[in-house]
Amino acid sequence: MSTAPSYASGPSTAPLLGETIGDNLDRTVRAFPAREALVESATGRRWTYAELAADVDALALGLLGLGIARGDRVGIWAPNCAEWTLVQYATAKIGAILVTVNPAYRSHELEYVLNQSGMRLLAAAERFKTSDYAAMIEEVAPRCPGLEHVVLLDSAPWHALLAAGREADRGALEQAAAALSPDDPINIQYTSGTTGFPKGATLSHHNILNNGYFVGELCHYTEHDRVCIPVPFYHCFGMVMGNLACTSHGAAMVVPAPSFDPAATLAAVAAEACTSLYGVPTMFIAELADPAFDSYDLSSLRTGIMAGSPCPVEVMKEVIDRMGMAEVAICYGMTETSPVSTQTRADDSVDRRVSTVGRVGPHLEVKVVDPGTGRTLPRGEPGELCTRGYSVMLGYWGEPEKTAEAVDAARWMHTGDVAVMDEEGYVSITGRIKDMVIRGGENLYPREIEEFLHTHPDVLDVQVIGVPDPKYGEELMAWVRMRDGAEPLTADAVRAFCDGRLARFKIPRYVHVVDAFPMTVTGKIRKVEMRAMATRILGPAS
């Protein structure tokens, strides 16, 4: 075993960007005004960079006209659409902090983020699929005293906001932009925590602009690239690795559908001659399995990004061979690090891309430490992965104690993931220190779900674990202890209790009623033993 320490830093010939997102967008617009910037496949709408800048500035001026200013929190609650992107860049232009709300949230979660962030304005779709956003907002708004404005996308007030901005004096926008710093907070992304409620990772212009830029650099993006983005904008994968990687290089953002649809994604790649495609492994699996896959012309594809969960070897081979993505990259990170910390390179072997998450990104540091002592371990030894650099969040919004638990005094972000670094600096993720469940690329923390299920009147105690699943990688299973005299809960009953109050991907698929949980002699729940037992109970289902 090597005696070299498990530490690596990312050299780069390209300097960090020392500008705001708005200034960076303006620079791209000046360089490529006539190039296509944004395509919404579902509606056929298109924007050149000059047209995108005009609409972004109009919305920014409209927000200023409502009294929204630097540091105010503005929420966006919608599936992927062009308006989402306009809100992202308009808020950045005036220094308002964009709060990205998961489209799958229900009233319980919406109310929490509205109040915890202190949101003044919420831009939202009226509805999507089975979600009636307008009704949920109306339900919780009386309990959210800080919420002053709600603007539904593509409504009369939305168009009035843009119209007012187009008539406004541009001097107000220039004045607002001049007061901004790249180190200002610009985005709050809620990530579920082990303490029950989501924590708001607060990110700056410097954090996410540079992360998007350097992810794009490692994908060799130029103004000639066209990136298909079927991953959600509310997450860093969409708005940073997608949108910001594009706008910092003059590339085109192609939005194939409001939410993931394999056929719509393949059709968008073919119709728009996309050079890059994003997704979690389950998305690529669904695309490859599309009955009409061979009818799509994917010859324009060169690269792309796969992230969110480990990629099976056969899937990676098919992505390269059948989709033509010879340079597809694997990325690893977390919301708190903007998000990418490690990435494979275009010339890495297939084996590297399926067995590791690549090497440290430019201008970043990673190390593997003994979680008990904090000592950096020799290469080849498993320990906790930590990362440091421009990408580390400013902190959790309004939660300094939680921030201090995650980011140490030397500004190392402790990921909670177990990793091994090899001799060449490639990192492999081998497990999780805590009990996070990754379901189809979504990070789920059992404690939040447990606390919600505790509100069921018949539940005495509950523990939630991840169990193997062939489609999503992992599924949720709730082990439940019933109150005396209560009828045993079924999975359908739990689903009915959660419906409309908890995001669907957080609702346990399996329910197992028990008299007691396996415990250690000191009284700690043995989730490792529960997972082993659950795998036997479920049998072929897992």
Q: What is the pLDDT of residues 514-529, one digit of tens each?
A: 998 887 544 557 888 8
64 and 91 assigned to the same domain: yes
Contact 222, 275 (CB under 8 A): no
Are 380 and 491 members of one domain?
no
Same domain as 67, residue 37: yes
Same domain, 114 and 181: yes
Domain edge (last residue) among 392, 419, 446: 419
Q: Quick one: pLDDT at residue 540? A: 72
Provide, rounded to the nearest whole percent, the portion of the chain with pLDDT above 70: 97
Task: Return the SS3 of 426.
Answer: coil
* Cβ–Cβ under 8 Å, residues 158 and 126: no
Q: Are 162 and 113 in contact (CB under 8 A)?
A: no
Do 318 and 412 have their domain in common? yes
Residue with structure tokens 């728009």?
Answer: 272
Q: Does 10 map to a domain?
A: no
Sheet of strand 510-513, all strands in order from the earlier edge strand to the far edge: 459-469, 473-482, 510-513
Residue 11 lies in a domain: no
Residue 92, in any domain of the structure: yes
pLDDT of residue 192: 62
How many structural domains are present in the chain?
2
Q: Residue 163: which domain range?
A: 21-419
Give me the pLDDT at residue 522, please: 44
**Same domain (yes/no): 453, 364:** no
Q: Are 249 and 34 in contact (CB under 8 A)?
A: no
The arrangement of strands across the sheet holding 7-9 comes to 7-9, 364-369, 383-389, 413-421, 427-432
Q: What is the DSSP letter of 258?
A: S
Low-confidence ranges of the chain (pLDDT < 70): 1-2, 192-196, 431-432, 520-524, 541-542
Residues 331 and 452 in one domain: no
pLDDT tens-digit readout, 471-501: 899 999 999 989 889 999 999 999 999 999 9
From residue 509, give the alpha-carbon distance in Å to each of 131, 412, 455.
20, 36, 18
In terms of Cα–Cα distance, which of 423, 426, 421, 435 is closest to 384?
421
pLDDT on residue 425: 98
Q: Is there a single domain that holds both residue 370 and residue 462? A: no
Q: What is the pTM of this model?
A: 0.85
Taking alpha carbons only, the member of 112, 169, 165 closest to residue 143 is 112
Residue 366 and residue 486 share a domain: no
- The CATH code of the domain that includes 468 is 3.30.300.30
Whether 402 and 502 map to the same domain: the answer is no
Describe the strand order of the beta sheet including 303-306 as a list of residue ranges: 45-48, 36-40, 252-255, 226-228, 276-279, 303-306, 329-333, 340-343, 359-360
Instruction: Give me the pLDDT at residue 175, please.
Output: 97
pLDDT at 460: 84
- In 257-392, where do the E strands start and end? 276-279, 303-306, 329-333, 340-343, 359-360, 364-369, 383-389
